[in-house]
Amino acid sequence: MSTTITATEWDSFVASHPQGHILQTPAWAELKCAFGWTATRIGIKEKGVVVAGAQILFRALPLGIATIAYIPKAPIVNWENESLVKFLFENIDQVCRDRNSIFVKLEPHITSNFKLQTPNFQHPTSNFQLPITNYQLLNSKPIQPQRTLVIDLRPSEDEILAAMKQKTRYNIRLAEKKGVAVSPSDDLDTFNKLMQITGERDQFGVHSSAYYRKVYELFRPLNRAQIFTAYYNDQPLATLMLFILGERAWYFYGGSSNEERNRMPTYLLQWEAMRWAKAHGATHYDLWGVPDEDEATLEANFETRDDGLWGVYRFKRGFGGKLIREPEALDRVYSPMMYKLYRMYMGSRVVT
């Protein structure tokens, strides 16, 4: 076994692995490094082939007193191979301690029925004991959405449409009849403008224009990102940025104008993005983020609640798809006292 790995080797491993996620690609690390993070990769090899690993992001705390570490949508490992898991975590521990990390936040990407169980954590349907001891591992607040809707793109287009809610199908056709047209675009200025309008209208946080530009500059040349824009008479009405890696596509960012909303441009926009993803080899389309509630609760409340992600759930549910929940976020603690102070500090911050 070895822990020496290049960015190219890691990228190939992530792109081809069933647990691979766009947030584990070297391009994503480069993006975060442009905005205050640093990154490193741990790759475990057997007979020269990468079999497990993790890309770790680090953020320095004020005055350089320590760092926090974050592993989004990983580690990528065969969780049933106890010796491999143990070896990987030993390497993660060493790297984090070398960077003076208070803790590392783990958000594993496991979309099958397989779940994790640890000495201090148990998923509701866990059936596997994580083979690591002598550490603190605590449930924590996730950074990425834990629950999402994933649409199966393997059936025919007619079958995908048939699986949607009737109103959503109607709105897709209505947009077409009302003259809305959707096309791939590299127009970042329009994208950023519509994102800012949406953030102001719907009162949710959006990234800076510089952030979205950097995202696109990194992922578009790799054919892993594409902007789509919906127009009416050459007037941009809605936009989204789609990511694709292997057989999975993700809808992370999207915005719309305040004009011509009765033409339902966002519905046709999503449908055309799905069609494009399917044509480019994706078998699943991840709508990325709905309230962390079971399906019965979601269906009982989506018409009356607007807080948090409830508004977007009302829109996303119409496209069908399977409700997926990933494992809990976990904090692996190296400095209990500093960790307690950090949690107190974060809890006292006023969010504006």
Per-residue pLDDT of the chain (352 residues; tens, 9 = 90+): 667 799 999 999 999 999 999 999 999 999 999 999 999 999 999 999 999 999 999 999 988 899 999 999 999 999 989 999 999 999 999 999 999 999 999 999 986 533 444 333 333 333 334 545 445 578 888 999 999 999 999 999 999 999 999 999 999 999 999 999 999 999 999 999 999 999 999 888 899 999 999 999 999 999 999 999 999 999 999 999 999 999 999 999 999 999 999 999 999 999 999 999 999 999 999 999 999 999 999 999 998 998 888 889 999 999 999 999 998 899 999 999 999 999 888 875 543 3
Q: 3-class SS at 123? A: coil
Asked whether the beta carbons of 56 and 28 are under 8 A apart, the reply is no
Which pLDDT value is given to residue 130? 52
pTM for the whole thing? 0.91
Which pLDDT value is given to residue 120? 37
Name the amino acid, one letter, at 51.
Answer: V
Which pLDDT value is given to residue 205? 87
Which pLDDT value is given to residue 307? 84
DSSP character for 349? P
C-alpha to C-alpha distance for 165 and 180, rounded to whole angstroms: 20
Asked whether the beta carbons of 323 and 145 are under 8 A apart, the reply is no
Alpha helices in the chain (DSSP H): 7-16, 26-33, 82-98, 157-162, 166-177, 188-202, 209-219, 265-279, 295-301, 310-316, 336-348
Which pLDDT value is given to residue 136? 58
212-to-16, 73, 99, 160, 177 alpha-carbon distances in Å: 26, 21, 29, 30, 32
Which pLDDT value is given to residue 22? 98
Which pLDDT value is given to residue 132? 52
Q: Respond yes or no on whether the N-terminal peptide bond of residue 184 is cis (omega within 30° of 0).
A: no
Residue 101: count other Cβ atoms within 10 Å of its Cβ.
26
C-alpha to C-alpha distance for 75 and 55, rounded to whole angstroms: 8
- Burial code of 131-168, b = ≥16 C-beta within 10 A, e = fewer? ebeeeebbebebeebbbbbbbebeeeeeebbeebeeeb
Domains with residue ranges and CATH for the chain? 7-143+326-348 (3.40.630.30), 147-325 (3.40.630.30)
